[in-house]
Amino acid sequence: MSGLSRPMPPADLMESLVRSFMPSPELDAWARATFIAPGAALWNEDHDHLNRAALGFVWTTVPNRRGGNLVAGQCEIMPPMAMGKWQRARAEQQIAEWFGEVPDFLITIDANYAQVCDDPEFCALVDHELYHAAQELDQFGAPKFTRDGRPKFGLKGHDVEEFVGIVRRYGAGPAAGATQALVEAASRRPEIAAAQISQACGTCRMLKAA
């Protein structure tokens, strides 16, 4: 674990009778100190580009199921695109009020799931969502940058059925893919801890449907 304690959903959010969303700068700080920042306790070089990204983390108590499966986390690129003009403007205003700006990525975590999952499962969930927050690549596989030198961000789908990096770090989930890279990652001892990475990801389901 990082030097920061794993964030838990705030009591006032969990005790409220109204299902809602709550921004969490604590989750952002924990994710950076755990996975992203150089020297992080569970540093992941695959997230290095996120040192230059603005991340907005949100807890929610709103239940979300797709195809009968729980959605425990979701990563979205900002600003939101698949909306009408007024819907998008309203969403941008809400997000800017939460974070003081519209971040590059918005990551939503199910607070009810976070209360009951163990530490390796929580790490796997957040690490997984961070993998979706990618830097785009050009036709030669080199990272893309904007004109002002910032990484050009985009959403990334799985390498196969799961991110190779997640399998390498946490072990194989229930459905390991068939590529050589994933097989090799799954055959090695997990880098961090054994975790059953079975929680559903809303971003994955959106990418599959696209």
What residue ranges do the domains of the chain occupy?
Answer: 11-209
Q: What is the pLDDT of residues 62-108, one digit of tens each?
A: 988 877 778 889 999 998 777 788 999 999 999 999 999 999 999 99
- Mean pLDDT score of the chain: 82
Residue type, 187: S
| 195: pLDDT strictly greater than 50 | no
Least confident of 153-162, 168-177, 180-189: 168-177
| 183: pLDDT strictly greater than 80 | no
Concatenate the DSSP letters of all residues of 53-113 into one string.
S-EEEEEE-S--EETTEEEEEEEEESS--SS-HHHHHHHHHHHHHHHSS--SEEEEEEHHH
The pTM (predicted TM-score) of the whole model is 0.77
Residue type, 32: R
| 60: pLDDT strictly greater than 60 | yes
> Which of 165, 188, 163, 190 minimizes the C-alpha distance to 177?
163
Confidence bin at 174 (pLDDT 50/70/90): very low
pLDDT of 45 reads 92
Write out the two tokens for 59.
């807890």
